[in-house]
């Protein structure tokens, strides 16, 4: 450890980007201090990925039990939402303790408080017990994450107006909800609550749900949402929210005509994106300024314009995904330790935990056509997968996009367990494998992973269980 400073590496923020950076730096024998002002695990563990996926799993159990009479199962399902939330809180609590143990076992010093910079090598930590301490550091890693965007007129402190964190913590299930924004959070949570019997009305500014994903991947999700009774209203901007006896009245404006409509419900969930958190740190004192989108700009190793300061995770830019942040944390720590950074182009998968799930990595066919001479695709429909048939989930398909020499450039999946299946395609993209190599590998039967093998074979007109084009 440097004699000149209290700690070699100061990490600000204990989310999946920050705690991973801290542990990796400590594994490389650096003295590390991690400052967290709320709960270890950040948004992801406490109010994001983990609690939402826990409740989605629970809602799926209830929904399947209600709807699978075809399999010979009929059940009266009672949902005790409080118990469901308690179970979810236990999952979160367990993981909080694990993160703390892992940090301590790796000799990361944990400090509970808010870190504000005083100068380029000094931070003041205001602790929750009202005491504060000063720490000097050689390197800093900013990992302060993001928070939900607040729409004017839909301030989160208002009664009946909720962000995702509150929705994952409802005391009781509302009868009805207006959901503003049909992106990741809007659709994952709309489907979750619809499966628990909540009447959902979605309002989205653009002309489809999940607009960031290709439309043929979204189509099965859109049909499933209609089947759940979710009402979707596209091309409408949320404009105003009034409190009513019942709860709220949300007025929208048609994006083209300006025509106004109103939707009444017990409450409104606003999920219109997230914005980076930088204002907690007094960044100007270390000579850093966020860019026009509010992110802290970095190079590919996470280094900011100030040489000894790194930024990782949501605060450093898109994609705002937990696994992307964790990898950025590892890379920054490796760079600080002076070790060789991991090689590769870093394919970043994206997954929507909808029903069915959507997962993508690398290029779509249209994106590949912009850079490649010839692009080919191989596809396999889930309804032709023996395993999909045995689970009762047959909507969707796997698609592989490859270059003229067969190297896999990307993949898209919509269907059961897409979130798990995408890792094989991610490996192929990251390591430059070809469809021929994927098709050669023996995949266990009966599994959904055979759909990847078959789409690779389909790319070479050699699929067995679907007709080749
Ligand atoms: P965060 O997790 O936000 O952590 C930042 C931490 O910094 C916070 O704990 C905060 O308290 C702390 N902090 C801030 N300022 C200071 C300061 N000055 N001093 C000390 N501490 C400070 N991503 C996925 O990949 N998969 C999913 O399924 C998924 N689901 C999501 C569901 C929801 C409902 C939400 C809201 C998000 C979801 N995300 C998901 C996104 C994911 O949560 C974020 O990408 C991820 O948490 C970002 O990690 P981070 O470490 O950069 O920041
Ligand atoms: P999002 O960017 O996914 O979706 C926001 C949606 O709101 C967009 O479709 C946008 O057109 C719409 N919108 C914006 N302003 C509007 C208005 N005034 N009226 C109507 N619609 C409006 O954002 P999100 O759902 O809030 O999620 C935030 C981020 O969190 C995501 O981008 C993602 O990075 C992360 N996240 C990831 C996952 C996952 O990986 N499964 C899950 C949840 C969240």
445 among known catalytic residues: yes
Q: How far is the CA of 48 from the centre of ligand 1 (A)?
A: 7
| Cβ-based neighbours of 111, under 8 Å, separated by 6 or more | 33, 34, 35, 36, 125, 127, 133, 135
Structure confidence at residue 341 (pLDDT): 80
Q: How far is the CA of 291 from the centre of ligand 2 (A)?
A: 21
* Residue the block writes with tokens 């989108």: 293
C-alpha span between 195 and 210 (Å, rounded): 19
Per the CB < 8 A criterion, the answer to whether 274 and 321 are in contact is: no
CA distances (Å), 257 to each of 182, 254, 431, in order? 20, 5, 49
| Shortest-distance Cα residue to atom 23 of ligand 2 | 273
Q: 143 CB less than 6 Å from ligand 2?
A: no
Instruction: Judge: domain 356-459, CATH 3.30.390.30.
Output: yes
Q: How far is the CA of 150 from the centre of ligand 2 (A)?
A: 12
- Indicate the class that CATH gives domain 161-272: alpha beta
Neighbours of 313 (CB within 10 A): 34
Q: 286 CB less than 6 Å from ligand 2?
A: no
Chunked in runs of 10, what are the mean pLDDT values of the chain (469 residues)? 89 98 98 98 98 98 93 94 98 98 98 97 91 96 98 96 98 97 98 98 97 97 98 98 96 96 98 96 95 97 97 98 97 96 84 98 96 92 98 97 96 98 98 97 98 98 93
Q: Which of 273, 322, 422 to mutate to test the pocket of ligand 2 (most atoms within 8 A of CB)?
A: 273
Structure confidence at residue 4 (pLDDT): 93
C-alpha span between 432 and 345 (Å, rounded): 10
- CATH 3.50.50.60 segments of the chain: 7-147+275-336, 161-272
- Catalytic residue, from 308, 323, 445, 465: name it: 445
Q: 191 CB less than 6 Å from ligand 2?
A: no
Structure confidence at residue 1 (pLDDT): 66
Structure confidence at residue 372 (pLDDT): 78
Task: Classify residue 292 by its DSSP letter.
Answer: T
| Cβ-based neighbours of 3, under 8 Å, separated by 6 or more | none
C-alpha span between 192 and 57 (Å, rounded): 9
- Indicate the class that CATH gives domain 7-147+275-336: alpha beta
- CATH 3.30.390.30 segments of the chain: 356-459
Q: How far is the CA of 196 from the centre of ligand 2 (A)?
A: 22
């Amino acid at each position: 450890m440097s004699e000149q400073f209290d700690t070699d590496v100061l990490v600000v923020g204990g989310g999946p980007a920050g705690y991973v950076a801290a542990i990796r730096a400590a594994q490389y024998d650096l003295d590390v201090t991690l400052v967290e002002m709320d709960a270890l695990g950040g948004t992801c563990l406490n109010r994001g990925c983990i609690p939402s996926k826990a409740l989605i799993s629970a809602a799926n159990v209830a929904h399947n039990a209600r709807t699978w009479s075809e399999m010979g199962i009929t059940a009266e399902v009672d949902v005790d939402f409080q118990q469901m939330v308690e179970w979810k809180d236990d999952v979160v609590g367990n993981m909080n303790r694990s993160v703390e143990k892992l940090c301590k076992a790796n000799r990361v010093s944990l400090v509970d408080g808010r870190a504000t910079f005083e100068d380029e090598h000094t931070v003041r930590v205001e602790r929750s017990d009202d005491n504060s301490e000063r720490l000097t550091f050689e390197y800093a890693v900013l990992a302060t994450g993001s928070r939900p965007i607040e729409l004017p007129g839909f301030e989160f402190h208002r009664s009946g107006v909720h962000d995702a964190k509150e929705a994952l913590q409802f005391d009781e299930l509302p009868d009805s909800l207006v959901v503003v924004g049909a992106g990741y959070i809007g659709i994952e949570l709309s489907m979750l609550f619809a499966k628990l019997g909540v009447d959902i009305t979605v309002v989205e500014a653009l002309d489809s749900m999940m607009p960031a994903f290709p439309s043929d991947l979204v189509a099965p999700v859109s049909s499933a949402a209609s089947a759940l009774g979710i009402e979707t209203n596209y091309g409408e901007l949320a404009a105003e929210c009034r409190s009513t006896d019942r709860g709220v009245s949300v007025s929208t404006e048609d994006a083209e005509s300006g025509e106004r409509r109103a939707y009444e419900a017990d409450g409104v969930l606003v999920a219109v994106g997230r914005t980076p958190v930088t204002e907690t740190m007094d960044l100007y004192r270390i000579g850093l300024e966020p860019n026009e989108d509010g992110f802290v700009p970095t190079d590919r190793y996470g280094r900011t314009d100030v040489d000894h300061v790194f930024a990782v995770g949501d605060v450093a830019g898109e994609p705002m995904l937990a696994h992307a942040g964790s990898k950025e944390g590892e890379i920054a720590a490796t760079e600080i330790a002076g070790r060789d950074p991991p090689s590769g182009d870093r394919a970043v998968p994206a997954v929507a935990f909808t029903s069915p799930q959507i997962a993508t990595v690398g290029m779509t066919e249209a994106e590949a056509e912009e850079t490649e001479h010839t692009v080919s695709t191989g596809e396999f429909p889930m309804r032709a997968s023996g395993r999909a048939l045995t689970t009762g989930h047959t909507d969707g398909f796997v698609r592989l996009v490859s270059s003229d020499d067969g190297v896999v450039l990307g993949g898209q999946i919509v269907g059961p367990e897409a979130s798990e299946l995408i890792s094989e395609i991610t490996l192929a993209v990251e390591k430059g494998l070809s469809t021929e190599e994927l098709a050669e590998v023996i995949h266990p039967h009966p599994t959904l992973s055979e759909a990847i093998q078959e789409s690779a074979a389909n790319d070479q007109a050699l699929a067995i269980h679907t007709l080749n084009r």
